[in-house]
Amino acid sequence: MKTQAFKIRREGLKKIPNTFGIDVTAARLLEYSSEDELRELIAAGHVIAPWLHIGGGSNLLFIKDYEGTVLHSCIGGLEVTSEDEECVSVRVGAGVIWDDFVAYCVERHWYGVENLSLIPGEVGASAVQNIGAYGVEVKDLITSVETINIAGEKRIYGVDECGYSYRKSLFKQPEMKTVFVTYVNFCLSKREHYTLDYGTIREELEKYPVLNLETLRRVIIDIRQIKLPDPKVLGNAGSFFMNPIVPRQQFESLQQEYPDMPHYDVDAGWVKVPAAWMIDRCNWKGKALGPAAVHDRQALVLVNLGGATGADIVALSDAVRASVREKFGIDIYPEVCLI
């Protein structure tokens, strides 16, 4: 499996990697490739407050230079820890590129992560963010998360301790900033099964003669590439906004005015409404505010047209949110972390 191979950098101002392409620096950028190396950095006093631990910078928006320590894991590798006829358990380094992990699983016919193909970022960040797409959330595949805290102490959190919900986890809480993810443990199925009832998956699969993991991964990648811009070409952080979950009574009232409003039932009392649909209805798709714009093919995505600052992206976000609130009475919130 491919993993990033970085050198440890400890001196001077360093540019912080981020997929928005915002030109920001940190006072210190520390990169480590093992748990022991992280402990050595901590023991030597290199991790100076304030600090921030990042993955691939794919879910971050920096408003200004970071005046502290930025930590980045380069822990690689995948280890099969147990296996039977039904499932396989794997321990994956936090620095492994997420889509490399997905490809590895698909090649070995391990079921579960294929709908999460092409999501940017790294394995460690996937556990922090509880990434999800096309009817699958990573929390349903994680069994435990291994961490080391700022005192150099190791702790393993069982999935039930991780506080997972929609794009949330225990690790996103302010009090957990002293805890760094080092490995994530997953349980994947060896029995054939697929999650297909989301978006246009079934429609796209009709173009292929056979349904298997390779085909489904190809379809997911195709759908994402059509809708989402390549951050190497047009700076972005993928979906900028979370889909709001609203009371059913509020949704039913809106549905009377907007009969075509798409939705996904959460439970008897709550309904998830696609933020992209509302943003599109507010006529933001493809519109720019200075050097920042709403992507012309996916209204959830804000893009850097070139030279945008974090403040430019935030100004656009605030304008979009105000429009949605005024038209629908619904508040939408950034999925991206503002630093």
* Residue 98, C-beta contacts closer than 8 angstroms, at least 6 positions apart: 116, 119, 120, 121, 122, 123, 125, 126, 131
Residue spans of beta strands (DSSP E) within 99-224: 132-133, 136-137, 142-149, 154-158, 179-189
Catalytic residue among 117, 144, 169, 239: 239
Catalytic residue flag (residue 218)? no
Q: How far apart are CA 172 and CA 53, in angstroms?
A: 11
CB 35 within 8 A of CB 310: no
- ∠ CA(291), CA(297), CA(300), 5° rounding? 70
Catalytic residue flag (residue 107)? no
Closest CA to 219 of 228, 206, 230, 232: 206
Q: How far apart are CA 143 and CA 154, in angstroms?
A: 17
Catalytic residue flag (residue 239)? yes
Catalytic residue among 10, 91, 167, 248: 167
Closest CA to 251 of 323, 328, 310, 184: 328
Catalytic residue among 35, 114, 122, 335: 335
Q: How far apart are CA 313 and CA 315, in angstroms?
A: 5
By annotation, the residues acting in catalysis are: 167, 239, 335
